[in-house]
Amino acid sequence: MALVKAHSERFDAEQALNACHLTMTNICLDGNFHDDTLKQALSHHLASGGHQTRLSLALDASAMLGLQQDDAVCIASACELLHNASLIHDDLQDRSAYRRGKLAVWKQFSPNLAICLGDLMLSGAYGLLARVSPACNPGNLVQIMHTAVAGTVHGQAADLDYHAQQPLSLDSYETIVALKSASLLSLALELPLAAAGQQALLPAVRRASRAFGIAYQISDDLQDIEPDRHNSSGQQLNAVLLLEREHPPQEARRIAVQRAFQHLTQVKRSLDGLPADCGRLMMHHVVRLYQTLEQGEQTHD
């Protein structure tokens, strides 16, 4: 998504976005370690694009909060690197052959190289936070990032182990989804707020991101009901299929949609108190997801 122009003369949004792309590549190729295959894998993955939602959220929030552009670029690039590292590792663990229409790194190169590249991106993210100005308290940002990464790892571990835990409740499903999906999304707002001295607002951001992450996953599940139902592994975590254990299919779908709407309402409440309208881009995503859910229900009816 294109960034709305920042209300700061110090901050050029388009220039910052381009700087992020260069920064992510450079931090991963920093020093004298230029393994050609690893470099090819990095280029292959980054060239696949993606929505860059976390990068955009972090840049826009940083601009609205008045951060310096160099600090914003480091923060946003770190968030995007972490997200991409998680995708590379997820694809390997799930044995997903494609990512964004291209072969996943593990499939194009090798499982071992996918592990190495994901690890390199994780390390690069922490390296970028070491570059932010002292006024942003980089040590505090590193601790916040660790908390988000730890949550993501615990969520992924629970997701991989979910088959052994069946039957799973909807509450347990939401806990797994929130850890796995919302932790890094939340980081894109947490880091700018913390860097701007607004640490007290992080719990509200975490509530908003948790609710949005769950609503987004439910929306995905609604579109993937039949593929997940017939998945040969039988291990696809899907809210609608969980609800179908106790409800007829139509009722399960209705409950899932209502649950998603409830979570989106929670997002709006949690974002209302953020300063400088720094949550506006997430609110835009909330509106779009709400429309997607409504349209899906109209089509289904």
Instruction: Say if residue 11's pLDDT is above 80.
Output: no
Q: Is the same domain home to 38 and 119?
A: yes
Q: What is the pLDDT of residue 5?
A: 43
Same-domain check for residues 128 and 185? no
Res 30: pLDDT: 81
**Under a CB-based contact definition with an 8 Å cutoff, are residues 73 and 55 in contact?**
no
136, 166, 190 - which closes a domain: 136
Pair 185, 117 in one domain: no
Q: Do residue 25 and residue 116 come from a single domain? A: yes
Lowest mean pLDDT among 56-70, 190-204, 235-249, 268-282: 235-249
- Establish if 60 belongs to a structural domain: yes
Cα 164 to its chain centre, rounded Å, is 26
- Please name which of 200, 198, 208 lies closest in space to residue 67, comparing C-alpha atoms: 198
4 SS3 class: coil
Q: For all residues of the chain together, what is the average pLDDT?
A: 91
pLDDT of residue 3: 42
Q: Are 207 and 294 contained in the same domain? A: yes
Residue 215 CA: distances (Å) to CA of 135, 218, 235, 263, 271:
35, 5, 20, 6, 15
Same domain, yes or no: 26 and 121: yes
Q: Is the pLDDT at 7 greater than 50, yes or no?
A: no
Residue 86 makes CB contacts below 8 A (sequence gap 6+) with 118, 152, 156, 184
Count of residues in the chain: 301
Mean pLDDT on 171-175: 91
Residues 125 and 194 in one domain: no
Is 222 a domain residue?
yes
Q: What percent of the chain has pLDDT over 70?
A: 91
What average pLDDT score do residues 204-232 get?
Answer: 92
Q: Is residue 202 very low, low, confident or very high in pLDDT (cuts 50, 70, 90)?
A: very high
Q: How far is CA 203 from CA 31, 137, 210, in A?
A: 37, 19, 10
Same domain? For 300 and 195 the reply is yes
Q: Are residues 193 and 128 in the same domain?
A: no
Cα–Cα distance for residue pair 155/176, rounded to 1 Å: 5
CA–CA–CA angle 238, 111, 184 (5° rounding): 50
Q: Is residue 164 part of a domain?
A: no
Domains contained in the chain, number: 2
Which domain does 127 fall in, by range?
12-136
Which CATH number covers residue 20? 1.10.600.10
Cα dihedral 282, 288, 292, 298 sign:
positive
pLDDT of 40 over the 90 cut: yes
Q: Is there a cis peptide before residue 134, judged by omega within 30 degrees of 0?
A: no
Amino acid at 182: A
Q: What is the DSSP letter of 179?
A: I
Give the DSSP letter of residue 178: I
99 membership: H or E segment, kind and range = strand 98-99
SS3 102: strand
CA nearest neighbour of 161 among 235, 224, 243, 241: 235
